[in-house]
Amino acid sequence: MIRAFLAIDLPPSVRPALGRVQEELKKSAADVRWVPVGNIHLTLKFFGQLPEGEVEPLTQAAKAVAAAQAPFELQITGAGAFPSLNNPRVVWVGIGGEVLALAQFYRRLETALAALGHLPEGRPFHPHLTLGRVRSPAGRERLAKMLKGLAVPDWPPFKVNELILFRSNLSPQGSTYTPLQVITLG
């Protein structure tokens, strides 16, 4: 069994600014487990534990959908939180740009993967990059206030040319992501 997910990785050029946003939010002293900047990605589908025999069929289904999808541009937008800014549990930055192309691609992926037994998400697709997860109420109010007033950098758009099937290995030091398959768009 392997723990796996399908995601859009980020270009190295946007990672330093994501790190600066995290550093600014860390000043809240909230009890947050921050995602290492190198691990931040746009998740399209989290599979959880998969039998190794399912990796190839999933890859082929994703390749078929990706082959029909032209590359598109995305852009990082403002910060937010789930379930709300007043009650942050997951701290994120949003995704803008060609979000209609992204949403249509996501729906086609969900349909193809559902045919293999991986049911669609039960909630609407809200593209975002997770920066951290709040572990306790400590400092949550300060974090919420900082999120509301946070000035995020003006990121340039980036081209999405591929998606990646990642293996996720959990350890006490955190998650390590290893690409299993790189799937090209178009």
Per annotation, catalytic residue among 45, 118, 128, 140: 128
Per annotation, catalytic residue among 32, 40, 41, 102: 41
Identify the CATH number of the domain in which residue 124 sits. 3.90.1140.10
Average pLDDT over residues 126-151: 94
Active site residue 41: yes
Which pLDDT score, from 0 to 100, does residue 174 have?
79
The number of distinct structural domains making up the chain is 1
pTM of the predicted structure, to 2 decimals: 0.93
Domain enclosing residue 159, as ranges: 2-184
- 92 torsion bin: left (phi>0), alpha (psi -120 to 50), beta (else): beta
What pLDDT, in 10s, does the model give residues 16-26? 999 999 999 99
Which pLDDT score, from 0 to 100, does residue 148 have?
92
Q: What is the DSSP string of 43-63?
A: EEEEEEEE-GGGHHHHHHHHH
